[in-house]
């Protein structure tokens, strides 16, 4: 919506004189904002997602149908959960009736077909469950890995590894692999309990969900390596890890939408690793959307993955 105006997306498949006249008349209606769009399927998906409420579809061959085989069928698609949906549909119906009166060649040149789109409501449990899953993975990876590395350093285990035939790369790869497997198990348990015990909605492709958990966890593991590089004791690692995890948890949308944050804070948060991760994760789980719907979020995650990996390698110390 624009101010108090109702936005109606118009799909003009006819592109003839009559359709242009109809769109011009629609633009003259009070409190109606007309936006011409090309892709009907995309607009329908926007209505389903709650991003748009109304669409008017003008059929191909409108002028020919009116002249040779009236009435021509105009379709209005609307969000049937909208509290003013009936009012707007009634407004469009009166507009079509008026257009019929203005066409002298037939008593009823146009007919209106009304189609409501049901939107599956997302309750708070549906919203918070993906956040809890990713928060658990993040906390375990950042704090757990940082504390483990600090413990190894305190006990001089890292120094001893250098004196053994065991490759340092193999040692750390095994650590990362173990945390990735545990992250998958942890996320699976949280999502399964939420869905099976509490009835939360989990609709996305399980392979895509697992892939997101792994990619996000790699970023969090890098942060764990960085925290572990600076922490001299296990207690310091836990403190520094919490200093990283808690602000991300509170501001990145684990428990409430980031839309509720002040604009300046929301702008900062959306470039932190957890917020784009959660936005993508919720889109996949709650709406079964493909990863291609989240190019910006995935680019931010990729940037964090690369950046934290470089910092982790540069800052890590064995002693």
Distance of alpha carbon 101 from alpha carbon 284, whole angstroms: 48
Tokens encoding 94: 């009166």
- pLDDT, tens digit (0-9, with 9 covering 90-100), for 63-90: 888 888 888 899 999 887 676 778 888 8
Written as one string, the DSSP assignment of 116-147 is EE--PPP-HHHHHHHHHHHHHHHHIIIIIHHH
Distance of alpha carbon 18 from alpha carbon 102, whole angstroms: 11
- pLDDT, tens digit (0-9, with 9 covering 90-100), for 168-178: 778 888 989 99
Q: What's the pLDDT band for 213 if we cut at 50, 70, 90?
A: very high
- Provide, rounded to the nearest whole percent, the portion of the chain with pLDDT above 70: 94
Treating both helix axes as pointing N-terminal to C-terminal, what angle do 124-139 and 206-230 enclose, rounded to 10 degrees? Answer: 40
Q: What's the pLDDT band for 263 if we cut at 50, 70, 90?
A: confident
Does this model's pTM top 0.85?
Answer: no
Domain boundaries, the chain: 6-117, 124-315
CATH 3.20.20.80 fits 6-117, yes or no: no
Considering just the CA atoms, what is the radius of gyration of the chain in Å?
Answer: 27
Written as one string, the DSSP assignment of 57-103 is EEPTTHHHHHHHSPPEEEEEEEETT-TTHHHHHHHHHHHHHHHHHH-
Q: What's the pLDDT band for 104 if we cut at 50, 70, 90?
A: low
| Average pLDDT across the chain, whole number | 88
Pairing between strand 72-79 and 54-58? antiparallel
């Amino acid at each position: 919506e624009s101010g108090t105006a109702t936005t109606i997306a118009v799909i003009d498949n006819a592109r003839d004189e009559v359709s242009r006249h109809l769109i011009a008349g629609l633009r003259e209606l009070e409190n109606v904002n007309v936006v011409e769009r090309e892709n009907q399927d995309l607009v329908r998906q926007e209505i389903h997602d709650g991003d748009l409420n109304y669409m008017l579809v003008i059929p191909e061959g409108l002028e020919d149908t009116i002249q040779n085989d009236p009435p021509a069928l105009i379709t209005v698609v609307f969000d049937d959960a909208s509290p003013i949906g009936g009012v707007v549909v009634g407004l469009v119906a009166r507009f079509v009736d008026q257009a019929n009166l203005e066409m002298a060649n037939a008593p009823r040149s146009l007919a209106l077909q009304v189609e409501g789109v049901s939107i599956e409501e997302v309750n708070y449990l549906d919203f918070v469950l993906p956040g809890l899953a990713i928060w658990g993975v993040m906390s375990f990876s950042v704090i757990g890995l940082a504390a483990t590395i600090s413990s190894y350093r305190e006990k001089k285990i890292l120094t001893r590894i250098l004196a053994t035939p065991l490759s340092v790369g193999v040692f750390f790869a095994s650590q990362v692999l173990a945390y990735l497997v545990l992250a998958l198990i942890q996320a699976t348990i949280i999502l399964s309990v939420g869905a099976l015990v509490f009835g939360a909605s989990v609709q996305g492709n399980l392979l895509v969900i697992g892939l997101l958990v792994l990619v996000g966890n790699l970023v969090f593991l890098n942060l764990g390596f960085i925290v572990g590089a600076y922490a001299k004791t296990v207690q310091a690692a836990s403190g520094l890890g919490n200093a990283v995890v808690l602000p991300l948890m509170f501001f990145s949308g684990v428990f409430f939408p980031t839309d509720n944050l002040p604009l300046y804070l929301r702008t900062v948060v959306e470039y932190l690793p957890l917020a784009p991760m959660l936005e993508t994760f919720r889109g996949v789980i709650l709406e079964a959307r493909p990863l291609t719907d989240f190019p910006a979020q995935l680019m931010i995650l990729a940037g964090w993955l690369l950046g934290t990996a470089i910092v982790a390698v540069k800052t890590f110390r064995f002693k």
